[in-house]
Amino acid sequence: MATEPLSIERSKSTLRIENDIETLAGSDYTQTSDAIQRYAYTPVYRNTLDYFTAALKELGFDVHEDCVGTLVARNRPAGEEVFGIGSHCDSNRNGGKYDGTLGVVTALEVCRLNCDLGLDLPLQVISFLEEEGSGFGQMLLGSRITAQRVTEEELKNRFRAIDDGRSFWQSALDAGYQPERWRESIHILDDLVGWIETHIEQARVLQDTHNRIGVVTGIAGYVHGDIWIEGRQDHAGATPMSFRQDPGPIAAEILLELERLARVEMGKGTVGTVGEIEFSPSLINVVPGRARISLDVRGTDEDSFRGVISQLEAFAETAATARGTTAKFIQRQTLPATPMDARIVDALESSAQTAGEPFMVMASGAAHDTMCVADHVPTGMLFVPCTDGISHSPDEDASPADAALAAEIILSAIRKLI
């Protein structure tokens, strides 16, 4: 186990990372000029994979893509143990230049430093396909395929392109991949002895506490779903208030109850959000006959955040019955809370201390590909600050110098772990 500190020229790493980020924010790598917009099987996404492929091949890495398009690069032949690093390089449809991409760029910089310093550490870089869900409306899709958290029926029929409605299966075929071999995707994890992902925090805890690095101890699990309320459509002027079966007030009651329940459980890291409210027929002079409210409930304590969902479901049914309507919760997607590996966390903490810059340990409230990798491989994560916590926005901003610090810490940690 290597313990002596590394001698790294951080300014050089900072400039390389900045160049990567700014290049990948250019017109060849985004579908729109006012934001970063790239997702699976688009030409600009292809260009992005080609950029990383060229950079990693220059370092002597063997690079390939798996059967659906996840990028894999390694400096050891198959069958030899390697340490995994990476993230994703797709974006939100109205995204910024740091979310995900900074993690792959930081992994690339770790590989560069590994060569610069002659360390010859065994490394494997992964850029997972379609983390944001911008192409097919499915978060963590590439890493879920790798972890076998999907079904063939979903890939063939249920998961469909937002742009043109084609199935994921057909889209992958048309892009030149082999989705019929999707179960083989898990083998990209076969030789990994560990995994570390770098990501912008997507909140403002690091900024507000004046820390440059966050060592992640766990990633919040989540439940995504909808509560559908079935009432009765009526004329907004002619129907007396006492005769109505209006789903609107019930939706409001449920929203406030979600806030109350989440606040009760917030000591355990639970949060709840209604991000969508939809009424049908959605006309100003009609009492709606149906309402839908979305639910996003997350937390690092499994019993806590799932308990909020079950209590809210019961509340919705009771509130609806009291007004002569019905309410039903339908789950869209769920992932369990994911603790990070204690040994990797310790190595990252120790390396952050050696680096001499302010850092803290913290949980992640956002989902990441690491959640799926953790099913099969010991995992860790580092966060770097993003200005005012802004993410999934063209205004997203982060410091390449902080990413350079993260690269140094990761390289040091891997030396301790290999």
User: Which residue's entry shows tokens 């995504």?
Assistant: 224
Q: Are residues 179 and 293 in the same domain?
A: no
Asked if 35 and 99 count as a contact pair (C-beta separation under 8 A), the reply is: no
Angle between helices 43-58 and 101-116 (to 10 degrees): 10
The residue from 315, 335, 355 where one domain ends is: 335
Asked if residue 225 belongs to a domain, the reply is yes
Q: Are residues 312 and 372 in the same domain?
A: no
Q: Are residues 247 and 281 in the same domain?
A: yes
Asked if residue 184 belongs to a domain, the reply is yes
The residue from 335, 369, 399 where one domain ends is: 335
Residue 307 has pLDDT above 90, yes or no: yes
Q: How many domains does the chain have?
A: 2
Read off the pLDDT of each residue in 107-123 and give the average, rounded to a whole number.
98
Q: Are residues 116 and 238 in the same domain?
A: no
Residue 2 has pLDDT above 60, yes or no: no
The whole domain housing 276 covers: 221-335
Asked if residue 283 belongs to a domain, the reply is yes
Q: Are residues 291 and 362 in the same domain?
A: no
Amino acid, single-letter form, for residue 325: T
Alpha-carbon distance of 392 to 394, in angstroms, equals: 7
Q: Are residues 87 and 206 in the same domain?
A: yes
What per-residue confidence (pLDDT) applies to 3?
61
Alpha-carbon distance of 365 to 217, in angstroms, equals: 11
Q: Are residues 174 and 118 in the same domain?
A: yes
Q: Are residues 178 and 301 in the same domain?
A: no
Max CA separation in the chain (angstroms): 81
pLDDT, tens digit, 9 for 90 and up, residues 66-95: 999 999 999 999 999 999 999 999 999 999
Alpha-carbon distance of 256 to 338, in angstroms, equals: 28
The residue from 319, 335, 351 where one domain ends is: 335
Q: Which residues of 35-70 are buried (b: 16+ CB within 10 A; e: fewer)?
A: bbbbbbbbebbbebbebbbebbeebebebebbbbbb
Asked if residue 250 belongs to a domain, the reply is yes
Q: What mean pLDDT is reported for the chain?
A: 96
Cis, bond preceding 339 (omega within 30 deg of 0):
no
Q: Are residues 15 and 103 in the same domain?
A: yes
Asked if residue 1 belongs to a domain, the reply is no
Asked if residue 231 belongs to a domain, the reply is yes
* pLDDT confidence band for 97 (50 / 70 / 90): very high
pTM over 0.85: yes
pLDDT, tens digit, 9 for 90 and up, residues 151-175: 999 999 999 999 999 999 999 999 9
CATH of the domain at 129: 3.40.630.10
Q: Are residues 316 and 365 in the same domain?
A: no
Q: Are residues 208 and 234 in the same domain?
A: no
Asked if residue 2 belongs to a domain, the reply is no
Angle between helices 400-417 and 101-116 (to 10 degrees): 60
Asked if residue 48 belongs to a domain, the reply is yes
* pLDDT confidence band for 217 (50 / 70 / 90): very high
Alpha-carbon distance of 394 to 38, in angstroms, equals: 13
Q: Are residues 331 and 342 in the same domain?
A: no
